[in-house]
Structure formats: structure tokens, C-alpha cells
Chain A
């Protein structure tokens, strides 16, 4: 058993504010300590040990698993996620659910674009039961026909329900256009056509191929010692195969850039979604792009998009931008909703802001404000045991280092106006946006119109 420690969390920089007064409360040197735990069997996890609440949270992911469903079997990983906790080992679906519920254990799985996630939350006095049920779900999932059918029906139902949601229709059209023929273009839940072809054997194959210890990343938080966590890691994950057999996924640049697609739907409002090539998490310009995005439309109130579209003109309830880093591609995106008659106007303003950012970058004040927000708001995310485990897992998956939270502020504070200008120039080109509109937008020139949009 190896346990290494790292002190985390930083003291905040004082931001400028309109009020000048002495703070009556002083900040203690706050610290969250991350321990690197390596189990006797060699499985590594990061842990924030906290015995103040009798709760343990465990978060894990199998990197790569779930990113690519076989052609014709789209939705396989997601259906596996929905069915893994539907019975395992000696327990059928109802018995398994009863054991979880009666012990107040929350166990769930989630298929993502670049990995397959698992999540456990338990009271510490129920941990043995929780770890055993988790182990069973991973090592001996049953995939009983009844449970598979029931979950398949639920997923199909959710897919059909989403057809009535113009936001969903817009997202789907965007991704299928940007990533044709690539897993990123597929609906992760599958399609009305693909889901019926998935068999329990497909699900078993998915688990067998995907859940290898070589792809496993684990983080934990709460009421557990490193020694006990080490034992739990071996118990839960030790029986999994050493290696996994995931299909390789090619890198892809988004397609359709410069196009404006309109999906006509009989709605009062137009959903707008636009995006182009962004940058990956490991890109050296990541922090500059984070600052840029915050100023452009990532900061909620006060962002340029919100100011211009909502605050000044009342065109929208929400308008925003965001970065999407993926393993094999990346996007910088913006979106919002507006009344049909003003869609052209809103879209023009968004594109102007895109151009203004590319041309001018950010002001000294915007840069400073973005830094104080991005550094200062970070501890707010550490709001529960599970949230802490989730953040550890993300840092670990992104390979940022166990001391990342210590260094994060320095990365952000090191961003200069020139950095933001460079990354804005590199990323933002209003003429190369893939734009998707759902509704009956007026004042918009479409390069392609799709009736119904789905």
C-alpha cells in the first residue's frame, strides 16, 4: 500500500469590487488533501479522506469504453449502462434493486463519448454491501432478457420523447452534420432502428471487452481510510481482466463548417446552435481559451453574448458559449433561443461577437475579471462528497497530475491578453461556423432546409 499526499486548494486572489471595506472574516488556510492510494493488487485511486460525514463516494471510468458502438449497434454502451444495475450474481433485477434501496446505496453507470463511467454513494456503515454489489454489477451482470427489454423500451421511449424537444433536435442535427460516419455523430442512446438489434450477448461482449484494469481510473472521497479503500479497490475491481479490447477511434475535424441548416418546426421560438473546431484539453492554449470563452459567453450574466443579446435587446432568455474538448475532436460552441421573428438579428449579433473577439481579444479588465472568477469559483464545486470524488476523477482522467488543483490558479493567472488574442484568432471564424436553427427563423439565409428536422 502506497499513500502519497498532496495539499490542495489555494487562497484566493482578491478581486476588484465596487465596495471598499474591510473583510470581517478572514480565510483560514483551507486545504483539501488528496492521497494517492495504491491497493495491494496494484489498483490506483485518488482519495480525499473526510470523516466528518458518514458517507463514501466512489467514482470510476473505463477510458475508451463506450466511445464507439459497432455500426448497427448504436446505443450498446448506453444500454449496458442502464442494465448493469438491473441484476447481478445471485440477484435478479428486483432483488438487486431492493438490496441497493434498502441500504440507501446509489449505484449507477453512464456511457460517455470517451469513456464509461460508474458512480457509487453509500453510507459508511453499509460500505461492505455497497462494494460487493458494485463488484457483482461489474463482474457478474446478468443482462436477463426481461431487464434488457425493459431498459430498451425505456430508452426508446426517451428517444421518442425528445423528438418533441427542439433543443434536442438541434443538438442531434449539429452532431450528425459535424461528425458524419464517426461515433461522435451518433446518438449515444442509439436509434429506433439500432436498439432492437442489441442482444444480451452484445451487452456481455461489451463488458468483457471494455472493462479492463488497463483502462480503469478511480477516485474516492469521504469516510474511508486509505487502507480500507485499498482493500475495497481490490475487492471491487481486482477480478476484472487486466486488459481491455476497445476499438480504436479515429480523430476527426468537424464537418459542415460554414453551413447554416434550418430544421423547420412549428414552434414559437428558434433554437440556435453554432460551433466550429475548438481545442483539446491537453492543448497548451487551453487556459487562454477558457478565459476567452468565459468573456465571450461562458460566464452567464456579464458575458458579451448575454450583454448584447439578452441585457441590451431582450432577444433571448439564455445565450451562451462553451468549449467541448473530446479525445478525438474538439468544438467551441454557442447557442441560445429567440423568438422566430428575431432569429436573424440574434444570429447576426452572435456572429459579430465572434468576430469582435477574434479581432480584438479581451480587455485588461475582462481578463482580470475572468481570472478572479475562474480561480475563485473553483472551491464552490467541492460541494458534496460525491462532487469531490467526481472532480478528482476528472483531473485524473485528463492526466493533469495529483497536484493539479494546486497549480490550476497559476495556469489561469498566467494567461495574458496576447494569449487570448492568439487563441481567439485561431479558433473563432464567423464564416466557418456550422449553424443549426430549429423553428421558423426569420431573417436567416439557410444553405439547407430540413423539413421536420429529425
Chain B
């Protein structure tokens, strides 16, 4: 992520850790908040107590539904008297009409442009004035707004968030300068960064027909023509209480939350919301390569993406085995890929594999690496392929599965020790078609995964030959 110190002094100066996670389905935010939210690779970042036991229960949320159909989810955490208040809309960039790419994210920005009661720009100022922080983010499948505030300000932010659910007021004077802002955002976050440009191109190549191939922030030529009317139409279609989920985490109980939720959100009328109609991918039989050469690039890299099922599209039961597979292949310095490519063969300086099952439609699994000095990309690619082939042909061992599961369950114990993490995980899960029960059962389902299941999932996904390979290279191949 780019450095954007909002309020921290020391961190601005901190050295960057060389390790970098794969650029994985990064949601777009109105403003990158410094470290407010960390998105985990796996959809659920679960916890379990005691440490290593696979019992049902991660966040132990409570849930209820308002009379207008709005779902409310609460995770009580009384460590400090603060709360995270989030509203998730079940709509994202993949729900955009064709030709208006970026409208979901643009609307997210415009949601801060005011209502009759809260003038343009005042929303964030009021939150800040009350000692809180607020922001928003957009993904392909959801758009979410959040405020972190002292518990006695929960009512204030609920009132304001509920207000803009139905009372947004846009004018041309507000809308069009903000369009310039999102265009700058695109320049800053994608066009200025070759690693992000190749990611966008790989994605656009992997999804031939499905809107997941369209960048969340939008294609530049379409962003430049987005209109106020299109934003309003998107808002009117999708921003309804029955298409939203309220998630609150922190120092509040259900008895306190219920009357407030009814008071502020409960009175907003239910409205008909369109079905999510998503085109499905056609069968693609060709392997594809995307090569980005840029004079700025000094450190090349390779990545390869395969289509994979998400939780919601997982008919074969691969979603949990693929997470275990990901841990075996890429879960730290003792994982297969790192050990093979970086430690043993010394042909890479980093190696990774990632899979995120939290997606309304299908998702992808990806692997990648950066070459060690003097190693050609051809050699690196061959080695990466060899490791994948070995995996598909010979599979993983029972012992690898057992160790990986143990680590995953143990890591899970940390997940509840966070203010925003539980709200984040639950909101994303529900917005992509999972139930709370699915999230809470994560440890049990991970624990039930067998080596045979991991191997079947690995064969099914990594055995596909219609993958997309992305190469980020310097302008001239020097020395290779």
C-alpha cells in the first residue's frame, strides 16, 4: 500500500518490511486509512478458545433482523469503551451496468457529499469532532461504511449513517470534482505502480466475461464519463435497508443496540432490490500470458492465476481444503513453496500462494514468485511449475495437513482480539452469501479437512490448464 500517514507520526518513518502479500482482491476505499483495517487472505480470520481446539465458535456474534428486513450482527468486546459501526450493502462493482464501470466505488465517495441534515463534507468532520474515525471501501461484491467511535457516540453515527441510506442529495457541483478525485485515485493506485497494473491486466484476462475482470475502481475511459444520474440510479436501486447489514463490534450489548437500531434504521422503508444477475464465465480452454514491460521495473516477478470456487459456488467441497492447501504451500517460512524455491533451490527471493473464498461468484487461486539475482524468469517459471506439478501429481501428506490445520486453528485464536477484525470478517461473509453459522463453524470445517480432500481440490484447481500467467519485467531483459 502507499504510504499515507493520517495521524501517525512515528509510523510514517518506519522502514518497510520487504515481505509483501499478493495483491489480492483489494477493496477500494474512499481514502486509504493507515492501518485501520487489515484484510486477511482467507475469508474468515477465525478464533477459537482454547487455543488449538476445533470447536464451533469464532466471534460468538448475536444477530437479529429489523422489521424492514435489515440484518443486525453484534460482536460484544468490552476491553475498551469503543465500538466499530459498519453498514454493509450487498452491492459492489460486479453489479454495475456495463459501460459504467467504477460507479459503485464512485457512489461510495459520493455518500460523503451530504443530506439535508448533514451538509457536504460534514459527515467525516462530525465523526472526527467526536473523536472518531470513519471511512468506506468497495469491493466487487459489497460496499461498506464504517466509523470507529467511543461507545457513547454510537448513536450519533447510527443516526448519520441511517440518514444517508435514503436521504443522499447530490448536485453537479459536488459530483464532478469528486470524479476528478477518483481518477487521481486510479492514477495513484494503479497507473503509477507497475505491480498493480499487471495485477489489473491478469484479472482482466482471467475473467473473460464475468465482471470480476473489470477493475473495481473502473476503466479510465468510463470513469471519465460517469454522471450524477448514474450514481443516483445505482443508489436508488441498491441502497435499501433490506439490502444492508449492520455490523457492530465493541463495547455494546444487544440490549443497548436493539432499540437504537430500530430507532434509526428500522424506520427506513423496505424497497424492492434487484436480484444480483451476474453473467457466468464461458468455458475457456486456453492458457494465457500477460506481459508488462516497464522501464521502471528493476525487480521482475511472476504470478499465475487459476479460477477456483468460492464458498458460495463451492459444489465440490473444495473451499476449506483449498485454504489448508494454501497454508501448506505458503503459510510461512516452512511452507512448501518458500522452502523449495527460496531456501532449497535459491532461485527466488519470495514465493507465495493465495486463495480467498469470500466471493459471491467464483474466485481465483494464485501463486507467484520473484527471482533471485541472476535467475532467469524462464528458470523461475519452470521451477514454480514443477512444484505445482509435484503437488498435483503426488499430493500432500496426512502429516502436512495435520500440521497446517493445527497452525490455522491456533492462529484463529488471535482473531477475536481485535476491534474491527470480527466486524470485517462477518460483514464480508454475509455480503458474499455466507451465513453467520458458516463463519462460526470455520474451525470445525477446517479441522475436518482430509489429505484426500486437499489433493482432490489441488488437482481440480491447479490441474486446470486455462490459467493466466502474468510477468512483470523490465523494459530490457538485462542479463537473462
Contacts and interface: CB of A to CB of B under 8 A. Distances in A.
Interface of A: 9, 12, 15-19, 21, 23-28, 30, 32, 50, 52-55, 78, 82, 93-94, 97-98, 101-104, 110-113, 121, 123, 125-126, 146, 149-150, 153-158, 160-167, 171, 188-189, 265-269, 271, 294, 298-302, 307, 310-318, 320, 322-326, 333, 337-339, 369, 372-373, 375-380, 382-386, 394
Given A189-B15, A382-B79, A154 B349 contact: yes
Contacts of A312: 177
B279 to A, nearest CB: 31
B3 interface: yes
Interface in B249-297: 252, 256, 259-260, 294-297
26 contacts: A12-B150, A21-B155, A25-B154, A25-B252, A55-B413, A55-B414, A150-B343, A154-B19, A157-B372, A158-B18, A162-B16, A163-B298, A164-B193, A164-B194, A164-B299, A165-B193, A269-B188, A269-B191, A298-B7, A301-B124, A302-B125, A325-B9, A339-B183, A372-B131, A380-B150, A385-B417
A294 B191 CA distance: 30
Given A17-B130, A30-B80, A94 B155 contact: no
A102 B32 CA distance: 34
B98 interface: no
A28 B81 contact: yes
Interface string B423-456: 0000000000000000000000000000000000
A320 B407 contact: no
B195 interface: yes
B14 to A, nearest CB: 7
Given A112-B14, A324-B9, A301 B31 contact: yes
B407 A102 contact: yes
A123 B150 contact: no
Contact of B126 (A18, A158, A266, A385): A18
Contacts of B133: 300, 377, 380
Contact of B79 (A50, A103, A161, A188): A50
A373 B131 contact: yes
A301 B130 contact: no
A161 B343 contact: no
B260 A337 contact: no
Interface string B52-94: 0000000000000000000000000011111000000000000
B350 A299 contact: no
Contacts of B298: 160-161, 163-164
A268 B191 contact: yes
Interface stretch (B308-316, B329-337, B352-360, B389-397): B329-337
A324 B8 CA distance: 9
A301 B112 contact: yes
Contact of A268 (B15, B192, B406): B192
A377 B33 CA distance: 14
B117 interface: yes
Contacts of B368: none
A125 B132 contact: no
Given A52-B78, A317-B184, A383-B420, 15 more contacts: A21-B155, A25-B151, A26-B152, A94-B333, A101-B334, A125-B50, A150-B346, A160-B298, A164-B294, A266-B296, A268-B187, A300-B7, A317-B188, A380-B133, A382-B79
B373 interface: yes
Interface string B171-195: 0000011111111110111011111
A382 B250 CA distance: 12
B80 A32 contact: yes
B374 to A, nearest CB: 10
B400 interface: no
Contact of B184 (A9, A78, A315): A315
A384 B417 contact: yes
A394 B8 CA distance: 12
B154 to A, nearest CB: 6
Given A157-B349, A157-B370, A383-B418, A337 B299 contact: no
Interface of B: 2-10, 12-20, 31-33, 49-51, 78-82, 112, 117-118, 121-122, 124-126, 128-133, 148-156, 159-160, 176-185, 187-189, 191-195, 252, 256, 259-260, 294-299, 301, 331-334, 339, 342-343, 346, 349-350, 370, 372-373, 403, 406-407, 410-411, 413-414, 416-420
Contact of B18 (A9, A154, A375, A382): A154
Point out which of A54, A373, A376 has the most chain B C-beta atoms below 10 A from its C-beta.
A376
Nearest to B421: A384
Contact of B419 (A155, A160, A377, A384): A384
A311 B126 contact: no
A321 B53 CA distance: 47
Contacts of A25: 151-152, 154-155, 252, 256, 260
A296 to B, nearest CB: 12
Point out which of B5, B184, B297, B414 has the most chain A C-beta atoms below 10 A from its C-beta.
B184
Contact of B80 (A24, A156, A265, A382): A382
A104 B333 contact: no
B129 A369 contact: yes
Nearest to B11: A322
Contact of A164 (B126, B195, B372): B195
A123 B51 contact: yes
Point out which of A17, A52, A94, A102 has the most chain B C-beta atoms below 10 A from its C-beta.
A17
B178 A110 contact: no
Contacts of A323: 9
Nearest to A376: B131
A369 B125 contact: yes
B260 to A, nearest CB: 6
A385 B415 CA distance: 11
Contacts of B32: 318
B334 A313 contact: no
Point out which of A102, A104, A155 has the most chain B C-beta atoms below 10 A from its C-beta.
A104
A380 B252 contact: no
B18 A23 contact: no
Contacts of B160: 19
Nearest to A271: B192
Contacts of A375: 131
A220 to B, nearest CB: 15
Given A164-B195, A317-B184, A383-B420, A21 B124 contact: no
B31 A111 contact: no
Given A268-B187, A294-B7, A316-B184, A158 B150 contact: no
A157 B18 contact: yes
Nearest to B159: A19
B333 A302 contact: no
Contacts of B129: 15-17, 369, 372-373
A383 B177 contact: no
A97 B370 contact: no
Top 10 closest A-B pairs, CB basis? A376-B131, A314-B180, A158-B18, A104-B410, A314-B177, A301-B124, A160-B299, A157-B349, A317-B185, A161-B299
A382 B193 CA distance: 33
A165 B188 CA distance: 10
A211 to B, nearest CB: 19
A265 B343 contact: no
A54 B49 contact: yes
Point out which of B133, B154, B260, B333 has the most chain A C-beta atoms below 10 A from its C-beta.
B333
Point out which of B49, B129, B420 has the most chain A C-beta atoms below 10 A from its C-beta.
B129
A164 B296 contact: yes
Contact of B2 (A167, A307, A379): A167
Point out which of B13, B294, B420 has the most chain A C-beta atoms below 10 A from its C-beta.
B13
